Amino acid sequence: TEEEDYRARVEAAALPEKVREAALKEVDKLERASDQSPEGSWIRTWLDTVLELPWNERSEDAYDIAAARAVLDADHTGLADVKDRIVEYLAVRKRRADQGLGQIGGRRGGAVLALVGPPGVGKTSLGESVAKAMGRSFVRVALGGVRDEAEIRGHRRTYVGSIPGRIVRAIKEAGTMNPVVLLDEIDKVGSDYRGDPAAALLEVLDPAQNHTFRDHYLEVELDLSDVVFLATANVLEAIPEPLLDRMDLVRLDGYTEDEKVAIARDHLLPRQLAKAGLGGDELTVDEAALRRLAAEYTREAGVRNLERSIARILRKVAAQTELGERELPAAIGPDDLRALLGRPHHVPESAQEPAERRTAVPGVATGLAVTGAGGDVLYIEASLADAETGSTGLTLTGQLGDVMKESAHIALSFLRSRGAELELPVTGLRERGIHLHVPAGAVPKDGPSAGITMTTALASLLSGRKVRTDVAMTGEVSLTGRVLPIGGVKQKLLAADRSGITTVIIPKRNEADLDDVPAEVLERLTVHPVSDVREVLRLAL
């Protein structure tokens, strides 16, 4: 009978004792349930799920750290710091295993490595490499948009159509009890009335609890203590605090142009050539072409769009070849891009006609910001309200957050109180309103780091002097004009460099952050660390 069959499978599966007991109990229930009852079908599905889990499967760890380093190096160009950090992590795991110690636990124990950075910088693919380096199977659990605790921990079996949660499904997919599980986009879990997925994740990641993880559907305990959990996130601020506490952060801030060219040459191009069915000896794309692709056709912190553009070129070449319009072998140089991809999307400000530049009129200043997509330049525009409209005071637009709004008020107050000293004509300001706008309004912006940019935009408006086109800036401003430190210096400088900015103003107290900025970028940029907003105005106007 069916029940005998299940009983035999349960016995053959060498399940952990408690699981075996629970499974046999279910077989007994199945015996009593009538053939057509819904209960019978629930029990069958549950038994199948339990029997499919890899209770006794585990892979042997390949703890050769030098070989692991070689795997990381082979899969990813650059990222020396990140690879160092991963190798340290593996080395510590190996030493602890050698000495018969368990995994590192507790708060701030560094149990979970979290790779944090903008899109397309290789976070997910590094996770895969870690699994490969350890000789473990790899599963990715996409957490983006998960709002329901049951997504993580499953629904109770009484719930119609219930299934196990993502963790149990990941183990099943991995086929071993000790895979590398990448909790992808952990910054995008939300919570609502259906419970807090972050709390469930916390339990999953907690070494004190995760050897007895309970999925609502499975009901029996699952030992997750041998799983290596990694996490990825775009924005640190969006990771729930208790989760953040358990993570060891590894930052990936984005690539310079040279790094992108090297990545494209070593990895993206060979992969896309193979995908397009083109041999490496049939088609070459030279470095100058790759560089132009990175600079003018894509503008991003990572390399995802760069890879897409390469794929587009190769598809076109494949089609042209098959249509008899192109002979292979062929070579693609920078001048071929226009014919293949059309006009470039990104022309640096400095390369544009003076009249077309954003800062061509007084009142516009260039700032630097960090968004979920990496660093970016942003323009702050100030204008005087029409005298006839009679509006006074400060109008702010562009979806600004509260902190950014405060910055605008501080900037204006500073100029009002110090205008005379700065020789800015601030008379009449009380009668005429000022409008401050941060374009690209669909992106909500917040944070204090636009303070000096707002001050500069307003000072430019009031003095009628244009802001220098090649200058971008970041820094918080106080009521007395002091420039206070901000975050994201590396991402912001990379963004300035991508946009063709040549001079950057940063707070003096952020000077130490320049150590993290690639030398190649610092060579191209003139960086002015300042402590007072008067210096900013002298440099920018």
Of the candidate residues 83, 123, 466, 492, the single one contacting ligand ATP (CB under 6 A): 123
Q: Smallest Cα–Cα separation from 459: which of 349, 533, 369? A: 533
SS3 at position 507:
strand
> 15 with 55: CB under 8 angstroms?
yes
Nearer to Mg ion, 117 or 165 (CB): 117
Per-residue binding string, ligand ATP, 71-100, x by CB under 6 A, is -----xxxx---------------------
Residues 242, 108: Cα–Cα separation, whole Å? 10
DSSP state of 490: H
User: Does residue 129 touch ligand ATP according to CB under 6 A?
Assistant: no
> 408 with 394: CB under 8 angstroms?
yes
Residue partners of 339: CB distance under 8 A and separation at least 6: none
Residue partners of 431: CB distance under 8 A and separation at least 6: 387, 392
Place of tokens 């430190």: 485
User: Does residue 256 touch ligand ATP according to CB under 6 A?
Assistant: no
> Cα separations (Å) of 257 from 295, 300, 501, 521, 540?
7, 10, 14, 9, 26
Nearer to ligand ATP, 280 or 428 (CB): 280
**Tokens standing for 27?**
């077989």
303 contact choice in Mg ion, ligand ATP, none (CB below 5 to 8 Å, kind-dependent): ligand ATP
Q: List the interface residues with Mg ion, window 94-153 (CB under 5 A).
A: 124
Nearer to Mg ion, 139 or 278 (CB): 139
Residues 424, 461: Cα–Cα separation, whole Å? 9
Per-residue binding string, ligand ATP, 300-339, x by CB under 6 A, is --xxx--x--------------------------------
Give me the least distance between CB of 232 and Mg ion, in Å please: 6
Nearer to ligand ATP, 240 or 302 (CB): 302
Nearer to ligand ATP, 43 or 252 (CB): 252
Give me the least distance between CB of 79 and ligand ATP, in Å please: 5
Per residue, the 3-state secondary structure of 197-260, as one string, reads HHHHHHHHHCCCCHHHEECCCCCCEECCCCCEEEEEECCHHHCCHHHHCCEEEEECCCCCHHHH
User: Does residue 445 touch ligand ATP according to CB under 6 A?
Assistant: no
The yes-or-no answer on residue 350 being catalytic is no
Nearer to ligand ATP, 56 or 125 (CB): 125
263 contact choice in Mg ion, ligand ATP, none (CB below 5 to 8 Å, kind-dependent): ligand ATP
Degrees (nearest 5) of the Cα angle 361, 378, 510? 115
How many C-beta neighbours within 10 Å does residue 519 have? 7
The yes-or-no answer on residue 391 being catalytic is no
> 157 with 217: CB under 8 angstroms?
yes
Closest residue to ligand ATP, judged by C-beta, is 122
Catalytic residue among 309, 449, 463, 499: 449
Q: List the interface residues with ligand ATP, window 57-76 (CB under 6 A).
A: 76
Question: Which positions lie near ligand ATP, rule CB under 6 A?
Answer: 76-79, 119-125, 232, 234, 263, 267, 302-304, 307
Give catalytic residue positions. Answer: 449, 492
Question: Which positions lie near Mg ion, rule CB under 5 A?
Answer: 124
